[in-house]
Amino acid sequence: MDLDVFVAAHRAEWDRLDALLRRRDLTGAEADELVTLYQRTATHLSLIRSSAPDPLLTGRLSQLVARARSTVTGTRRASWRDVTRFLTHGFPAAVYRARHWWIPTALVSTAVAALLGWWIGTHPDVQSSIAAPTELRELTRPGGQYETYYSSHPAASFAAQVWTNNAQAAAMCLVLGVFLGLPVLWILFQNMLNLGIGVGLMSSAGRLDTFLGLVLPHGLLELTAVFVAAGTGLRLGWTVIDPGPRTRRTALAEEGRSALSMAMGLALILFVSGAIEGFVTPSGLPTWTRITIGITAELAFLAYVYVLGGRAARAGETGDLDAAERSATVPTAA
Q: Is the pLDDT of residue 137 over 70?
A: yes
Mean pLDDT across 41-51 = 85
pLDDT at 78: 55
According to the 3-state scheme, what is the secondary structure of the chain? CCHHHHHHHHHHHHHHHHHHHHCCCCCHHHHHHHHHHHHHHHHHHHHHHHHCCCHHHHHHHHHHHHHHHHHHHCCCCCCHHHHHHHHHHHHHHHHHHCHHHHHHHHHHHHHHHHHHHHHHHHCHHHHHHHCCHHHHHHHHCCCCHHHHHHHCCCHHHHHHHHHHHHHHHHHHHHHHCCCCCHHHHHHHHHHHHHHHHHHHHHHHCCCHHHHHHHHHHHHHHHHHHHHHHHHHHHHHHHHHHCCCCCCHHHHHHHHHHHHHHHHHHHHHHHHHHHHHHHHHCCCCCCHHHHHHHHHHHHHHHHHHHHHHHHHHHHCCCCCCCCHHHCCCCCCCCC
pLDDT at 333: 39
Question: What is the pLDDT confidence band of residue 83, given thresholds at 50, 70 and 90?
Answer: confident
Mean pLDDT across 262-275 = 92
Q: Is the pLDDT of residue 322 over 60?
A: no
Q: For a pLDDT cut of 90, what percent of the chain falls above it?
A: 50
- pTM of the entire predicted model: 0.73
Q: For a pLDDT cut of 70, what percent of the chain falls above it?
A: 93
pLDDT at 323: 45
Question: What is the pLDDT confidence band of residue 188, given thresholds at 50, 70 and 90?
Answer: very high
Q: Is the pLDDT of residue 307 over 70?
A: yes
Question: What is the pLDDT confidence band of residue 287, given thresholds at 50, 70 and 90?
Answer: very high
Q: Is the pLDDT of residue 184 over 90?
A: yes
Q: Is the pLDDT of residue 189 over 50?
A: yes
What's the pLDDT tens digit per position in 206-251? Answer: 999 999 999 999 999 999 999 999 999 999 999 989 888 888 888 8
Q: Is the pLDDT of residue 172 over 60?
A: yes
Question: What is the pLDDT confidence band of residue 190, given thresholds at 50, 70 and 90?
Answer: very high
Question: What is the pLDDT confidence band of residue 271, given thresholds at 50, 70 and 90?
Answer: very high
pLDDT at 326: 46
pLDDT at 46: 84
- Give the type of residue at 40: R
> Of the given ranges (2-11, 63-72, 226-235, 319-328), which has the lowest mean pLDDT?
319-328
Q: Is the pLDDT of residue 25 over 50?
A: yes
Closest CA to 187 of 165, 172, 198: 172
Rounded to whole angstroms, how far apart are CA atoms 233 and 180?
9
pLDDT at 290: 95
Rounded to whole angstroms, how far apart are CA atoms 22 and 15?
11
Mean pLDDT across 172-188 = 91
What's the pLDDT tens digit per position in 84-96? Answer: 888 899 899 999 9
Query: What mean pLDDT is reported for the chain?
Result: 87
pLDDT at 123: 94
pLDDT at 320: 65
Question: What is the pLDDT confidence band of residue 331, given thresholds at 50, 70 and 90?
Answer: very low
pLDDT at 246: 80
pLDDT at 165: 84
